Amino acid sequence: MHILVVIPARYASTRFPGKALADLEGRPLIVRTVERAAQMKRADQVIVATDDSRILDAVQSAGFAVEMTGDHGTGTDRIGEIAARHPEAEIILNLQGDEPLLDPGTADRLVEAILADRSIDIGTLAHPFATPEEWQNPNNVKVLVDQGRRALYFSRACVPGVFPGSAAEPSHHALRHVGVYAFRRSALEKFLTLAPSPLERTEGLEQLRALENGMTIKVLPIDQAPVGVDTPEDLEKVKQIIRRMAG
């Protein structure tokens, strides 16, 4: 199967404007991210999708593939435009442009998981919560899975709830979702035809649209999430990690 990796990148960012081009140890953040994705063994193509000429120039100057898109409300819509231009791609992997530390091997495992099971429409990642406080943070998305590691529900709330009198620790049953997705082409095309769903609008989580329409999401467990860059402070943390890795 032909595997297409698409990395959506835009210049605007509420908490960190221009972060895609922020300097990360001598190279822009988006270039660092593409460099990691290019190390995947299961990727046939890696393309940055952007609507900003500055990002286009930076990626092209580094020698990587990049394509301009229209103005889209979500990264999935942007990925859909790129996928439509590459009908040979049977699996489309959505990597975030602000996660330069994502392990290429982890992305390969996600591709392999969806290739191994034809019943899976979408694959994604999640890891255990380190502390109850992380589980209680509404900025951390929780996912509940069945015994086959298929997603039951995603939420910003503290799920699951606790039956009165139960001694169970609920944070042990939820996983922290990592926003990386592998789509089967048919699933991506179907998803993009669907209107935003009621639970999606309530939670502000696009993946609930897939669940509400009967699509199967496989959750691949990983040990911990890579450090993403949402703020200038996050960028400094990633710089320190890259320095340690280089040393």
- Grouped pLDDT means (10 residues each) for the chain, 247 residues: 95 86 95 96 97 96 96 89 97 94 95 95 96 91 97 96 82 93 97 96 96 98 88 92 87
pLDDT of residue 176: 95
Q: Hey, how many other C-beta atoms are within 10 angstroms of the C-beta on 72?
A: 16
| Contact indicator for 42, 83 with CB cutoff of 8 Å | no
Give the residues across from 27 on adjacent strands.
24
pLDDT of residue 58: 97
| 0.85 surpassed by pTM | yes
- Tokens representing residue 201 in the block: 């609008």
Alpha carbon distance 13, 46 (integer Å): 23
Q: Show Cβ contacts of residue 245 under 8 Å, excluding neighbours closer than 6 positions.
A: none
Bond before 160 cis per omega within 30 degrees: yes
Alpha carbon distance 148, 73 (integer Å): 33
> How is 43-101 classified by DSSP, letter by letter?
-SEEEEEES-HHHHHHHHHTT-EEEE----SSHHHHHHHHHHH-TT-SEEEE--TT-TT
pLDDT of residue 246: 83
pLDDT of residue 225: 81
Place of tokens 């001598």: 26
Place of tokens 């990691």: 36
pLDDT of residue 67: 97
DSSP SS3 for 8: strand
Alpha carbon distance 31, 64 (integer Å): 8
Q: Hey, how many other C-beta atoms are within 10 angstroms of the C-beta on 234?
A: 17
Residue type for position 49: A
pLDDT of residue 72: 85
